[in-house]
Amino acid sequence: MANNERNAALPDLVVVGAGLFGLTVAQQAAENGHTVEIIDVRKHIGGNAYSYTDEETGAEIHQYGAHLFHTSNKRVWDYVNRFTEFTDYQHRVYATHDGEVFPMPINLGTINQFFHAHYTPAQAQELIKEQAGELAGTDPENLNDKGIQLIGRPLYEAFIKNYTGKQWQTDPAELPASIIKRLPVRFNYDNHYFKDTWEGLPKDGYTAWMERMIDDPKIHVTLDTDFFDESQPFNKAALVGRVPIVYTGPVDRYFDYSLGDLKWRTVDFKEQRYDEDNHFGCPVMNFVDADVPYTRAIEFKNFNPERSEQQNPDRTVVWEEYSRSAGRDDEPYYPINTSDDQKLYQEYKNLAAQEPQVVFGGRLGTYAYYDMHQVINSALIAYEKQVGPLLHK
């Protein structure tokens, strides 16, 4: 990260937001010889992937919830390996339901444990088909019906319905089916959460990875700076039309909510510390029952067993994760994406198309849910097709 004083002249590019989309575009621009100013309203780079070391336990804390890197995109994998090595971590999740722990995602082990049975894969598939009832063989548009169609009503109501209701603060019948398609269902005993070619965690942490991405004298970073605050020089009124901008904040905020507010889900965390080496025995424990107010608990030490010698064997830290609807002053994590929201976003997208020197990107700028590898891929494409041509005009 450059610490030299900024020139009086404007940089070639201003990037609003130091998350993965903004950092990737900035890195590409600098690599192609352009000067870049990155601003972020937060006090750190990395967006929601930012992490830090907890002094008491030695655990790497993912400040905005568990972040797990996985991809089958070779271009993205080659790109990120320029800046960090990865551990061989493979993600597995467990869920507590009615006082019992089950493997997730739904697999043959989950099915047999739940029904106290020993179904073969073919028998389990036939059971699910029967329990899907009239929804079997259909392709429902809402999450509630899609869940029943995928895994049958009993499993859906046990493991998905209440968890999803807590997570999205929305009736699953009002959510799009695409959300549930992110959760694989397997008729074998494979409980690997992801099926991508490559998976792991950055060996020396997320923040070190992202600092290396922008370790270039052509890149300057200004933190704790609001793009909409006209008392500082890198503000919207002063820059739009004068310099190409990559904007990764909420798209409705850019237009001062002129068409209305897009709905988001935010996450709150409650920290618990225990006088033991390991509390859950896994990195992530889902709590799928309605009477538990949080959706899951994250035990950070378990993401990095290779660091055991640097971790405190007598203390562990766990974060309970609570989901709720976001207001304007909350951190917007995930778009709720009802049909009304999608219609409103299309209207904002039409406005964005009228900003010829502004490229909107990232999950907030495009009102979309992205995994990290998808953000990086979209940023590489955006640089090639949109940002690069603006810089060469």
- Residue 309 has, within 13 A of its CA and on its CB side, a CA count of 1
75 as an active site residue: the answer is: no
212 as an active site residue: the answer is: no
**Residue 211 and residue 76 share a domain:** yes
**Residue 235 and residue 109 share a domain:** no
Q: Is residue 148 part of a domain?
A: yes
**Residue 231 and residue 136 share a domain:** no
**Residue 254 and residue 340 share a domain:** yes
Q: Tell me if 264 sits within 8 A of 255, measured CB to CB.
A: no
Q: What is the distance, to the nearest Å, from the Cα of residue 3 to the centroid of all Cα atoms in its chain?
A: 29
First and final CA of the chain: distance in angstroms? 27
**Residue 167 and residue 23 share a domain:** no
**Catalytic residue, candidates 12, 50, 79, 265:** 265
Q: Is residue 119 part of a domain?
A: yes
**Catalytic residue, candidates 186, 199, 247, 254:** 186
Q: What Å distances lie between residue 54 and 60, 210, 313, 318, CA to CA?
A: 6, 19, 14, 11
139 as an active site residue: the answer is: no
296 as an active site residue: the answer is: yes
Note down the domain range covering 367: 13-81+204-259+335-392
Last residue of a domain, one of 179, 196, 223: 179
Q: Tell me if 310 sits within 8 A of 268, measured CB to CB.
A: no
Q: Is residue 146 part of a domain?
A: yes
**Residue 349 and residue 241 share a domain:** yes
Cα–Cα dist 322/295, whole Å: 6
Residue 337 has a pLDDT of 77
What is the CATH number for 23? 3.40.50.720
Last residue of a domain, one of 120, 144, 179: 179
**Residue 163 and residue 99 share a domain:** yes
**Catalytic residue, candidates 55, 100, 134, 182:** 182
Residue 1 has a pLDDT of 40
Q: Is residue 125 part of a domain?
A: yes
369 as an active site residue: the answer is: yes
**Residue 131 and residue 24 share a domain:** no
Which residue bears the tokens 């600098």? 30
Q: Is residue 267 part of a domain?
A: no
182 as an active site residue: the answer is: yes
Whether this model's pTM surpasses 0.75: yes
**Residue 97 and residue 208 share a domain:** no
Residue 167 has a pLDDT of 85
**Residue 224 and residue 165 share a domain:** no
**Catalytic residue, candidates 199, 321, 348, 367:** 321
Residue 340 has a pLDDT of 92
Q: Is residue 244 part of a domain?
A: yes
Q: Is residue 215 part of a domain?
A: yes
Number of domains in the chain: 2
What is the CATH number for 166? 1.10.3110
For the chain, 393 residues long, give each residue's pLDDT as a single digit of tens.
Answer: 433 333 348 999 999 999 999 999 999 999 999 999 999 999 999 999 999 999 999 999 999 999 999 999 999 999 999 999 999 999 999 999 999 999 999 999 999 999 999 999 999 999 999 999 999 888 898 999 999 988 999 999 999 999 988 887 778 998 888 887 766 689 999 999 999 999 999 999 999 999 999 999 999 999 999 999 999 999 999 999 999 999 999 999 999 999 999 999 899 999 999 999 999 999 999 999 999 999 999 999 999 999 999 999 999 999 999 999 899 999 999 888 788 999 999 999 999 999 999 999 999 999 998 999 999 999 999 999 999 999 986
371 as an active site residue: the answer is: yes
**Residue 222 and residue 159 share a domain:** no
**Residue 339 and residue 231 share a domain:** yes
